[in-house]
Amino acid sequence: MNRVPLERKVLSENDKLAAELRARFHEHGILCLNIISSPGSGKTSLLERTLESLPRETRVAVLTGDIQTENDANRLKRAGFPVKQITTGGTCHLDARMIDKHLAGWRLEDIDLLLIENVGNLVCPSSYDLGEEAKVVLLSVTEGEDKPLKYPSIFFKSELMVLNKMDLLPYVPFDVAVAEENARKVHPGMEIVRVSCTTREGIDAWLAWIERRRQSARAAAAVAGETLVAAPGAEPGS
Amino acid sequence: MHEMGIACSILDAVANEARRHPGARAMKVGVRIGELAAIDPEALRFCFEVMVKGTEQDGLQLEIDRVPRQHQCADCKEEFVIRDYDFRCPRCGTVSVDFASGDELELTFVEVSEDESSSAGTKST
């Protein structure tokens, strides 16, 4: 028997394409966020509040994933920004190939912020890199405080947890402190914002987080641009 | 439940590797799965067995190496396994949040049979 060592990622094809997407996003100074949660935690509502709060001149685009229907895209298009629905037809997550395919027709130089709403699922999306700058996980107070412990992978890999439906706290036995402690057990130091998409509580804190990340993305793009100018012989991807 | 897709990626990688060894047959593939990889090893094994059945990869074995979450102590550099979210270093007691391993989803090896057709062209390097 001949044992051939491989030592590479199982999803190396997806990761390779995701790395190419990330390089394109960096080149254009685009902040790309991959938003993940269980079905019904409020991803689409959060995007609705986000889009209607952004100034009209904001260069934002949205890709929204579901197994079936164009319902989410139709909801989000009302804000007037470019939105595309990705219907996976059964697949429980988005992958880099779907993002690449659905970006076709959009000029990346016209986009500053790309928001990707993943398929509602706390498990599978955590395995697939989409080229995003950061994953954001939503949890709502109508779920269990122990979800971060039950689904540690996605809470570990997400940079921000958005705790949604805060307006419903008086009606549900949900302990915010315990939920946040659980999230930080899985992901020490994790950033958390508490929001209600119904009352708009906390939406400004969420927008401020996006703005901070956009500024870092722009700064990184500027540095990358200067590096290219300083080293004209360097060919990207070589 | 994305283990079917993961099994598919593993089998593609094995088929690619097998093509580099003409005449030989892939017998076993090794994967390393971290506890934070969001993969259920038993579901993956089930999907893998369903997918190879009746194909030219029938009989291919899957060896799964499970990796626990490990941190590295910021002070004494000891690497230690995290149990029950206790981040204290067992050697010096420092609380350490420096993640070291446990989110892997990697191919580690493919075992191929000795060349069945001829002795040429499949030299092990």
Q: Where are the domains of chain A?
A: 29-220
Cross-chain residue pair A93–B107, CB shorter than 8 Å: no
* Superfamily, domain A29-220: P-loop containing nucleotide triphosphate hydrolases (3.40.50.300)
Phi-psi region for residue B59, left (φ > 0), alpha (ψ -120 to 50) or beta?
Answer: left
Is the model's pLDDT at A220 over the cut of 90? no
Give the separation between CA A138 and CA A183, rounded to whole angstroms. Answer: 11
Terminal Cα-to-Cα distance of chain B (whole angstroms)? 38
Among B106, B113, B114, most A C-beta atoms within 10 A, so best to mutate, is B106
Report whether pLDDT(B102) > 60. Answer: yes
Secondary structure (3-state) at A157: helix
At A237 the pLDDT is 42
pTM over 0.80: yes
Is a pLDDT exceeding 90 seen at residue B36? yes
Confidence (pLDDT) at A227 = 66
A88-105 pLDDT tens trace: 998 899 999 999 999 999
Nearest-neighbour CA in chain A from B107: distance (Å) = 5
Please, are residues A4 and B18 in contact by the beta-carbon 8 Å criterion?
Answer: no
User: Are B107 and B10 spatial neighbours (Cβ–Cβ below 8 Å)?
Assistant: yes
Domains, chain B, in order of start with CATH, read 3-68+102-112 (3.30.2320.50)
Say which of A2, A92, A123 has its CB closest to residue B111: A2
| Residue B31 burial class via C-beta count within 10 angstroms: exposed 0-12, middle 13-18, buried 19 and up | buried
Residues of B in contact with A185 (CB under 8 A): 85
Q: What is the mean pLDDT of residues A164-168?
A: 98
Note the ipTM here.
0.82
pLDDT band at B119 (very low <50, low <70, confident <90, very high): very low
| pLDDT tens figures, A25-70 | 999 999 999 999 999 999 999 999 999 999 888 999 999 999 999 9
**In contact, B111 and B28? CB cutoff 8 Å:** yes
